[in-house]
Chains A and B, each alone.
Chain A
Amino acid sequence: MRYYRFGNPQGRFLGNTEKYSVYEKVISEQKHEMPAETYQNLPGELTFAYGPATGGLMESVAFNMHTPGEVIKHIEVDPYVKTRRLKVKGLTPRDALLMVERINGFHAASNAVAFEMAVEDALDIDVPEEVQYSRLIMLELERIRSNLEVVKRVCEPAGFGVPQNQIAYLRENVARIISRLSGHRYFFSASSVGGCQISKSGIETRIGGVRKEFQEIFDALLQSKIFLNRLQNNGNISEGSLLGPAARASGMKVDARLDEKLIPYRKLGFRPVIFDEPDAFGRFYVRSQEILASADMILEALDNNENSTEVDTAGMNGEGAARIESPQGDLFYYVKISDGRIDDIQMSSPSLLNIDAFRKSMAGNIFTDYHFNWESFGIWISELAVVMQ
């Protein structure tokens, strides 16, 4: 392992895998426990159950809200109702990738690239910088689409139908750009260990178009007092283990792209978007600014990127790890490879800490704020409700 080592907990806590706790540079066998807080209703309070299956939720997840009426005193989230068991161990990295891409299909590029980089770390495979530029394009395009979806979903409960539809339109256009670039609307089978196969024809003007249209919508939303009122001071959270846009909204300068040594973010002068409002508005603001920033990075990266083909990993052995900044925050993979097959695979998803932050930020908020607040974290359940066997 070139960038990670096993050791005692040190630095920022990023999440748990099935076996380990993950920090910025350390993997620890001492598990950072995250006890589920329980709540006993006081007289006059009741428990309101929502989910797991309802059209109002993107994925299956169950909530228990404890309330005396309007105010939510405590909320419990069960993200594990739809836990899938994926058979990954014993597969070659090439076959395992088909599974990894389907852990969270909406963030398939993030999962695929983090996994590929962990395998490359394990097997000492060097990937040329131009190919890492291609991966950067994939990751930032995925971030644009993901952030558009979050911003769109925040407009929805606010009753802002026009911008909601305009953003849905842009999100679909980005899906079409991704399809043009990678051959698949979700980047499935677009990258591999040692490489990346994308086509950039016609991408530049299309990205530029999305950037321009989003900037107009964003500026108009910032002019709307009603919209801002609904988001501001809703779901405050500035303490504890935060990551991704939620951390950056509360003023923390944390972003895996700052620590990245292989994907050339530094060469593009990457600087994270930091804000000082730790609420749903802050998260909306950071996500929006990141759409613009990612578009700019892609436009620059298009001058430098190249493709490469898959590397043969037959018979190889090693242990490696990698972490990247997915649209939701730090996403980590660890792999152990024996005789060219996956012996162990561990993944830590940012959903764990984001769900914890959402839960804490809800206490004291009212029912009507619940929807905005949940959407403002951009949480994906599929990435957490998964066991790799």
Chain B
Amino acid sequence: MSSIWFLNGLRKGIKTERYPSADPAAAPQWPSRLSGSDAGNCPVDAITSDGWIIEKCIFCRRCLPDYQPTGEQDIFTVKKAETAFRKSFHVFPLDSGACGSCNMEFLSIFSPQYDANRLGIFMVNTPRHADAIVIMGVMTPGMKEALDRAYEAMPEPRLVIALGACAVTGGIVGDAPLDREKYHVEIAGCPPSPYTVLAALNAARGGINSHTDSGWRSEEVR
């Protein structure tokens, strides 16, 4: 029986796209980098006199048409990259109070379209084996101890990554689990797309996301 699945797998061919060395094949508009000015009516005060605050935005589209989505997926900031994880990067996801969408987008980077494993990015089941913790969701009192313990259990060097508006700023739901200076990487979006998550994790270990200058566009595989 296993040989049937093996052949079946081969028959379907390779479904993995070349992002982040080529442009994304199916980049969503929401969320993506917004471009514009002078909009009011933002439910989370992400639009200020200084412009758009990417980490606060929940991509609710209420600022249309003053702000427009560009489709660009690079809505993350790497404050500190750790090149020791260049060859293999083991990440431990922690749901401190997420709605489920950030959880699913994180998991989606391991689906065949993205295949994070090919870049040497792996998910681990325990923080003891992790190079980075990926925090999703707002702070909830019941998860505080689990978060502290997971952080303590990680070996050095370690990275702390906030995934999604809730984790970075609290988004529209509540308060962020940690102060922003504790995060080495901040990934905006509500939720960020798998393209954004993949590029952010790649950049966190010093990888190069060459899609913007490669000019090579992969085809969406259907």
Contact = CB atoms under 8 A, between A and B. Distances in A.
Most chain B CB atoms below 10 A, which of A53, A58, A385: A53
A163 interface: yes
Contacts of A60: 94-97, 143, 146
Given A58-B107, A169-B112, A52 B99 contact: no
Interface stretch (B3-11, B80-88, B154-162, B202-210): B3-11
Given A55-B125, A183-B61, A104 B99 contact: yes
Interface in B82-130: 92-105, 107-108, 110-114, 123-126
A95 B111 contact: no
B122 to A, nearest CB: 10
B112 A165 contact: yes
Contacts of B12: 166
Given A53-B95, A206-B222, A162 B61 contact: no
A160 B114 CA distance: 20
Contacts of A104: 99-100
Most chain B CB atoms below 10 A, which of A104, A160, A189, A224: A189
B78 interface: no
Contact of A55 (B8, B43, B126): B126
A58 B101 CA distance: 11
Given A104-B99, A160-B5, A175-B108, A84 B29 contact: no
Contacts of B46: none
A108 interface: yes
Q: Which 6 A-B pairs rank lowest in CB-CB distance, beginning with the nearest? A: A105-B101, A55-B125, A105-B99, A168-B111, A81-B142, A162-B5
Nearest to A176: B26
B15 A382 contact: no
A209 interface: yes
Given A60-B96, A99-B173, A55 B190 contact: no
B107 A188 contact: no
Contact of B111 (A56, A59, A165): A165
Contacts of B173: 84, 86, 99, 102
Of the four ranges (under 10, 10 to 19, 20 to 34, 35 or more), the interface on chain A belongs to 35 or more
Interface string A234-271: 00000000000000000000000000000000000000
Most chain A CB atoms below 10 A, which of B30, B43, B99, B146: B99
B100 A105 contact: yes
Given A95-B43, A176-B26, A184-B30, A225 B1 contact: yes
Interface string A206-240: 10010000000000100111100000000000000
Contacts of B190: 102, 188
A46 interface: no
B58 interface: yes
B191 A105 contact: yes
A73 interface: no
A84 B113 contact: no
A106 B1 CA distance: 33
Interface string A181-199: 0011110110000000000
A106 B43 contact: no
B111 A98 contact: no
A83 interface: yes
A172 B222 contact: no
B113 A53 contact: no
Given A80-B142, A225-B1, 5 more contacts: A102-B172, A172-B108, A172-B194, A179-B30, A189-B59
B192 to A, nearest CB: 10
Contact of A184 (B59, B102, B125, B194): B59
A52 B104 contact: no
Interface string A259-294: 000000000000000000000000000000000000
Interface in A62-76: none
B70 interface: no
Contact of A102 (B4, B62, B99): B99
B60 A98 contact: yes
Given A162-B5, A166-B12, A225-B1, A54 B108 contact: no
A169 B147 contact: no
Given A55-B125, A59-B98, A105-B100, A82 B93 contact: no
Contact of B102 (A105, A171, A223, A385): A105
Nearest to B142: A81
Interface in A150-173: 160-163, 165-166, 168-169, 171-173
A52 B62 CA distance: 36
Contact of A209 (B1, B103, B112, B222): B222
